[in-house]
């Protein structure tokens, strides 16, 4: 466990996300995965390759070995969305036990927009300064007035568990929220997405910073394969199968043959004379002369052997 008591990221006007503790990191994912895949070697680059393999193949349980515990403060309406993520352990500030504090969310003028005409769950368009002012005034008026009544009821001895229900959902609450990396990435994938509400996105983006520093390889793999990766439905795939000319697939495969050769050579350097035969073995079809020209250009990207071979199989499956 590592103590991260100074790790506070401010969110919205009065909220924050603070990483309290984390357990494990990329190393914990690799350690758990090697129970299933054997010890092998453990060079840093191989750890990265293993993590990327696990993410690509949605082998998710090793990612559950890494834990994060956050202390967060957010408006209640944000917490309402947040608790939908059921795999976390939560302990929240109790308004049955303690009195509410006079802390309400007041949106920044630049985030006051009209209801989106395109997306029923979104906002868009520039609101006039007068209307923005009115929105801000109403937020303030209702928050201050409800808090006055709440305080009056408290002073009159009314039960806190009942008096609290007069307070609006822009009141701030706090909790400890603990989750594992697999489910935290799932949360961030949904809540840092542009379709998520701005107010929860801010908190999700703040938690993403912790993931980036605690498990950088896992974060990178999540971006590459889940967030920026593309999946095709059966219908889309059959459209590709029917209309993608085989020569296009062959052209891509040719590039893959070069990349495989360069990657294998970089992993384990070969004699100059062994390069062309290696390229042919990996499916290349260019003449030796053309191969040399391209090889000497130095413009061949290096990738991951297993990933390139998997890509090749996917492409082949699209051929008629």
Ligand X SMILES: Cc1cc2nc3c(=O)[nH]c(=O)nc-3n(C[C@H](O)[C@H](O)[C@H](O)COP(=O)(O)OP(=O)(O)OC[C@H]3O[C@@H](n4cnc5c(N)ncnc54)[C@H](O)[C@@H]3O)c2cc1C
Contacting positions for ligand X (CB under 6 A): 84-87, 121, 183, 186, 190, 195-196
Strands (DSSP E) found in 137-234? 172-180
**Closer CB to ligand X, residue 87 or residue 94?**
87
Three-state DSSP state, 125: strand
To ligand X, the closest distance from the beta carbon of 187 in angstroms equals 6
In sequence order, what are the residues at sequence separation of 6 or more whose Cβ sits closer than 8 angstroms to the Cβ of residue 125? 113, 114, 116
Separation between Cα atoms, residue 77 and residue 130, nearest integer Å? 25
To ligand X, the closest distance from the beta carbon of 172 in angstroms equals 22
Please say whether the beta carbons of 318 and 249 come within 8 A.
yes
**Closer CB to ligand X, residue 127 or residue 190?**
190
Candidates 145, 191, 247, 270; catalytic one? 191
Do strands 2-3 and 15-23 pair parallel, antiparallel, or not at all (unpaired)? antiparallel
Please say whether the beta carbons of 278 and 291 come within 8 A.
no
**Closer CB to ligand X, residue 34 or residue 123?**
123
**Closer CB to ligand X, residue 30 or residue 196?**
196
To ligand X, the closest distance from the beta carbon of 244 in angstroms equals 32
To ligand X, the closest distance from the beta carbon of 178 in angstroms equals 13
**Closer CB to ligand X, residue 121 or residue 297?**
121
Phi/psi zone of residue 235: left (φ > 0), alpha (ψ -120 to 50 degrees), beta? alpha
To ligand X, the closest distance from the beta carbon of 83 in angstroms equals 9
Three-state DSSP state, 112: coil
SS3 content of the chain, % helix, strand, coil (to 5): 55, 15, 30
For residue 282, what is the DSSP state? Answer: T
Q: Does the active-site annotation cover 191?
A: yes
In sequence order, what are the residues at sequence separation of 6 or more whose Cβ sits closer than 8 angstroms to the Cβ of residue 58? none
Active site residues: 191
């Amino acid at each position: 466990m590592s103590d991260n008591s100074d790790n506070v990221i401010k969110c919205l006007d009065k909220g924050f996300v603070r990483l309290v503790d984390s357990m494990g990191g990329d190393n914990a994912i690799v350690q758990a995965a090697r129970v299933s895949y054997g010890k092998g070697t453990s060079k840093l680059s191989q750890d990265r390759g293993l993590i990327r393999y696990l993410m690509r193949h949605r082998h998710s349980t090793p990612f559950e070995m890494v834990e994060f515990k956050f202390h967060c403060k957010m408006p209640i309406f944000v917490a309402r969305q947040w608790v939908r993520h059921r795999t976390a352990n939560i302990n929240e500030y109790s308004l049955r036990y303690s009195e509410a504090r006079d802390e309400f969310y007041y949106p920044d003028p630049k985030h006051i927009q009209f209801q989106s005409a395109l997306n029923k769950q979104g906002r868009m368009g520039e609101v006039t300064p007068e209307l923005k002012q009115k929105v801000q005034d109403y937020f303030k008026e209702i928050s201050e007035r409800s808090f006055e009544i709440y305080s009056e009821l408290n002073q009159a001895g009314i039960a806190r568990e009942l008096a609290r229900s007069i307070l609006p959902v822009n009141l701030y609450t706090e909790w400890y929220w603990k989750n594992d990396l697999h489910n935290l990435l799932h949360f961030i994938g949904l809540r840092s997405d542009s379709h998520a509400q701005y107010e929860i996105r801010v908190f999700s983006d703040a938690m993403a910073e912790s993931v980036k520093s605690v498990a950088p390889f896992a974060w990178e793999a999540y971006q590459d394969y889940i967030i920026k990766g593309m999946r095709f439905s059966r219908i889309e795939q059959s459209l590709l199968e029917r209309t993608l000319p085989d020569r296009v697939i062959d052209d891509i495969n040719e590039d893959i043959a070069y990349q495989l050769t360069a990657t294998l050579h970089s992993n384990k350097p070969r004699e100059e004379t062994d390069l062309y035969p290696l390229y042919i073995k990996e499916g290349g079809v260019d003449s030796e002369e053309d191969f040399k020209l391209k090889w000497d250009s130095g413009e061949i990207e290096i990738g991951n052997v297993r990933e390139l071979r998997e890509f090749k199989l996917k492409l082949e499956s699209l051929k008629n």
